[in-house]
Structure 1
Amino acid sequence: MLSIGDFAKHAGLSVRMLRHYDQLGLLTPHAVDPVTGYRSYSATQFPRVNRLVALKDLGFALDQVGRILDGGVGAEELRGMLRLREAQLAEQITADQQRLTGVAARLRAIEREGTMSEHEFLIKPLPAGSLAQVRDRVESMEEIGPMVGSLFERLGELMGAAGLRPAGPATASYTPLEAGGVDISVGWPTSAGSATAASGGLELVDLPAVEQALTLVHHGPMDDIGAAWQALETEVERRGLATSGPGRELYLETPFQDPTGWVTELQQPVA
């Protein structure tokens, strides 16, 4: 037999919580001393307490937990429920982390308001070229970051299967759609022309030359790329120019382990 303190320690709970479960009839002590009132527990009760805590962590109310426990729940069924909940929690953590990163980027942009811009703008032509690309669509701007990474993975696989090699820095462009959402395309320059066969969603396109584009070079992580685009579009307006096509991002340097070392050129065609 185990004292309430020892059972609580091995069950990963507090003594107070064990007493609470006892009051609710969810986990009754194996024995109670009639004189002292001391509760004692048996090691055979560990399976029940493990299921109790697991079900509570799955989001079930304690009255629901009691009904499920009394009705019997097998280890395999509980394992499946836990795996599902684990996946849901992981997805929620990822989404919350993305929102937190976005909030931090917005705060940095707000803090820079009214200060002298650190960006250097340059108007230059963009040359024509051939591009191997894949595309997809997202419903909101928050989905762009994760989507871009998966698109580049797909692009690399498809280019390898087609025997194509990158012939320059990677690029991405984003086109807002009238019906909502954003069309994303990512690509690598390639020496192959558009007549080369492509499959599996791989597109081979010939990019026309752009007479002039307003550009800036962004140094640092992609978390702050939104503020850089705002600065570029503000400069377009300040110069009395008009955009004449979707903007592009050209990834000049992308050290995998160091997001702060990224160098990205933003290119906005203008007229």
Structure 2
Amino acid sequence: MKQALTVGDFSRVTHLSVKTLRHYHQVGLLDPDRVDPVTGYRLYTPEQIPTAQVIRRLRDLDMPIPDVKAVLATTDATARGEVIAGHLDRLETELDRTRSAVESLRNLLRRPAAAAAIEHRTVPPAAAAAITAAVDRADLLAWWHGALGELHATVQAQNLDPTGPTGGLYASEIFQDDHGEATVFVPVQGLVRAVGRVESFLVPAAELAVITHHGPLADVDLTYGELGAYTTRHEISVAGPLREYYLLDARHTRDTTRWTTEIGWPIFRAEHDR
């Protein structure tokens, strides 16, 4: 007869609580070797200890129970490795997101009390090559990266001469309703031939209150907050998309702390600054 371990002994050996072992039995992740028909006690064997140790480590990495089952069920080392690697990739993505959030919070806490410089700017209309799409706010940064890559490749392929910095227009609905129209553009001289998502576009004229954001776009909302507070106190906001100009971005350097972005808020001005 196999040597039996009570659930208490098995818990002490594996460092899995009795409550956890009961749960794993209920969900079919780790069944006891047998259940005493009289007492209902769960009994385990020493041979189950390595399996329990693997389960504990996978669950410590927050691997979902269905994935743990898949790892334990297969004898194919390649398939097992793919499940584990897929979960590790998800953990790394979540870790990157957490690091970004932590850095953004630190930036907020370190932010100087002095107000950033804000200027008024009259922007004339400009012919441009552009990509426009309706975008979910959650997908905006990924869309931005992809659209800019396609846009700059097309401008270069058509030998168009940029006449100003790359920019973006973002409808208020993106921030208010989590979905709205976004446009990235490159002001150019010459005829833009429509290719793929790239089309000819006229960037509209605007009167803007402009602030400069330094650093990654992950915490650009802090600078938007400063600009929005300023316009609320000192300006008359008008309907129209928010505007960004990317003076220094991923095309120039991988060091996101060096990125420089101008943010423009549309305003009404009765007269120009003298």
TM-score range, shorter chain: 0.5 to 0.7
Q: Percent identity of the aligned residues? A: 19
Q: Any idea what SS the aligned residue of 2:108 has? A: helix
Contact 2:133-2:182 within 8 A present in 1 as well: yes
Contact 2:70-2:83 within 8 A present in 1 as well: no
Q: Any idea what SS the aligned residue of 2:162 has? A: coil
Matched with 1:259 is 256
Contact 2:235-2:267 within 8 A present in 1 as well: no
Once residues 231 and 219 of structure 1 are traced to their aligned partners in structure 2, the CA distance between those partners, rounded to angstroms, is: 13
Contact 1:134-1:202 within 8 A present in 2 as well: yes
Q: Any idea what SS the aligned residue of 1:155 has? A: helix
Once residues 54 and 164 of structure 1 are traced to their aligned partners in structure 2, the CA distance between those partners, rounded to angstroms, is: 58
1:3-152 equivalence runs, <5 A: 23=45, 25-26=47-48, 53=54, 57=58, 59-60=64-65, 64=69, 68=73, 73-75=74-76, 78-109=77-108, 112=111, 115-117=113-115, 119-141=116-138, 143-152=139-148
* Inter-CA distance 84–61: structure 2 relative to 1 (3 Å threshold): closer
Render the CA deviation track for 1:140-175: whole Å, top value 9, x for unaligned. 35x433332222122223334444343332112222
Contact 1:128-1:208 within 8 A present in 2 as well: yes
1:156-175 equivalence runs, <5 A: 156-175=152-171
Question: How many pairs were matched up?
Answer: 219
Q: Considering only aligned residues, what root-mean-square deviation do their CA atoms show, in Å?
A: 3.6
TM-score w.r.t. the length of structure 2 is 0.65
Does residue 199 of the first structure (1) align with residue 198 of the second (2)?
A: no
Contact 1:245-1:269 within 8 A present in 2 as well: yes
Q: Any idea what SS the aligned residue of 1:227 has? A: helix
Q: Any idea what SS the aligned residue of 1:256 has? A: coil
Q: Any idea what SS the aligned residue of 2:238 has? A: coil
Matched with 2:25 is none
TM-score w.r.t. the length of structure 1 is 0.65
Once residues 158 and 250 of structure 1 are traced to their aligned partners in structure 2, the CA distance between those partners, rounded to angstroms, is: 19
* Inter-CA distance 257–199: structure 2 relative to 1 (3 Å threshold): closer
Matched with 1:209 is 205
Once residues 84 and 137 of structure 2 are traced to their aligned partners in structure 1, the CA distance between those partners, rounded to angstroms, is: 25
Matched with 2:240 is 245
Q: Any idea what SS the aligned residue of 2:81 has? A: helix
Render the CA deviation track for 1:168-202: whole Å, top value 9, x for unaligned. 32112222437642433222111135xx4302111
Once residues 71 and 178 of structure 2 are traced to their aligned partners in structure 1, the CA distance between those partners, rounded to angstroms, is: 46
Q: Any idea what SS the aligned residue of 1:248 has? A: strand
Letter aligned with residue 125 of structure 1: T
